[in-house]
């Protein structure tokens, strides 16, 4: 991934509060179409202690989308020891909202400094204030879903995909060993292959059926005239990028990352 110092004046607004993110650390404010990084370290996420994930719905989230998220949570809970609980006063939690797209952080971000005090045109790009001291902290992290059946025809599966990000999983097609299974047109997408990292682990064989894999033709094309994003190396007949259910590989990796006796780890996974 190219880490360029480029300033993006981007804010995420909620009906009951406003939280600003400084994306000056990254070339793209949203990476690989649906991932947000913590400033300074894309591998800073951790697991949720004891597999318990507090969350709350933003007031702008429709009943339909809430039901999709609840179904997605139930599907994950039924296959693992992870438990999603409505937030009461927990410091660290997921804020589920509708920012007209799907995206999430990877892993628990925890209580952190979200305002850098970096100014542009007299205003802090972290909080938008002129008198910023750079001391705004929060344990909230955003997860966005939306109602767009043309782009996201499987809302429950898409919600599962984002929840898996929040639990600590990266895209399957960013694994270090992906080139054995895929040919990626790097001239037409931003699907950078991650190299080995001490905080990131591959669990099991490469899983083309993973809910964390994108479809072969899905993503942000950098050039619409340049065909193709990914194609299989083999002639294997398989639907890549399904959003119907967790694959066997997803379930195995989920239970590896969150065993029934889990507590806390600086670790994120590919399935």
Structure tokens at 41: 């370290």
161 labeled binding residue? yes
| 68 token code pair | 């999709």
Buried (b) or exposed (e) across 125-155, using 16+ Cβ within 10 A?
bbbeeeebeeebebebbbbbbbeeeeebeeb
49, 56, 162, 209: the catalytic one is 162
213 among the known binding-site residues? no
* List of residues 6+ apart from 30 with CB closer than 8 A: 36, 101, 103
> Any binding-site annotation on 173?
no
256 is an active site residue: no
Lookup: tokens for 207? 């899983």
Which whole-number Å values give the CA distances from 155 to 124, 151, 162, 184, in the listed order? 36, 10, 11, 26
Q: Which of 237, 236, 179, 172 is nearest to 200 (CA)?
A: 172
Residues contributing to the annotated binding site: 161, 165, 171
Catalytic residues: 162
Residues contributing to the annotated binding site for Zn(2+): 161, 165, 171
């Amino acid at each position: 991934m190219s880490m360029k110092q480029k300033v993006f004046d981007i804010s995420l607004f909620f009906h009951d509060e406003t939280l600003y993110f400084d994306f000056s650390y990254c070339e793209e404010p949203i990476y690989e179409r649906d991932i947000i990084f913590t400033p300074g370290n894309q591998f800073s996420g951790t697991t949720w202690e004891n597999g318990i994930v507090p969350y709350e719905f933003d007031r702008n989230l429709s009943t339909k989308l809430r039901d999709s998220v609840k179904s997605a949570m139930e599907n994950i809970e039924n296959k693992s020891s992870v438990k999603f609980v409505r937030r009461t006063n927990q410091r660290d939690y997921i804020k589920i909202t509708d920012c007209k797209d799907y995206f999430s952080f990877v892993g628990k971000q925890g209580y952190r400094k979200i305002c850098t005090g970096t100014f542009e045109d007299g205003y802090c790009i972290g909080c938008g204030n002129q008198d910023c001291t750079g001391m705004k902290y929060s344990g909230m992290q955003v997860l966005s879903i939306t109602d767009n059946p043309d782009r996201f025809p499987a809302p429950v599966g898409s919600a599962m995909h984002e929840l898996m990000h929040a639990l600590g999983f990266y895209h399957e097609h960013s694994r270090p060993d992906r080139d054995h299974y895929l040919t990626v047109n790097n001239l037409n997408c931003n699907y950078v292959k991650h190299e080995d990292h001490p905080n990131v682990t591959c669990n099991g064989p490469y899983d083309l059926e993973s809910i964390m894999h994108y479809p072969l033709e899905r993503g942000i094309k950098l050039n619409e005239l340049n065909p193709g994003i990914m194609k299989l190396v083999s002639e294997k007949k398989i639907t890549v990028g399904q959003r119907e259910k967790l694959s066997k590989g997803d379930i195995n990796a989920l239970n590896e990352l969150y065993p029934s006796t889990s507590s806390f780890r600086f670790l994120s996974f590919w399935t």
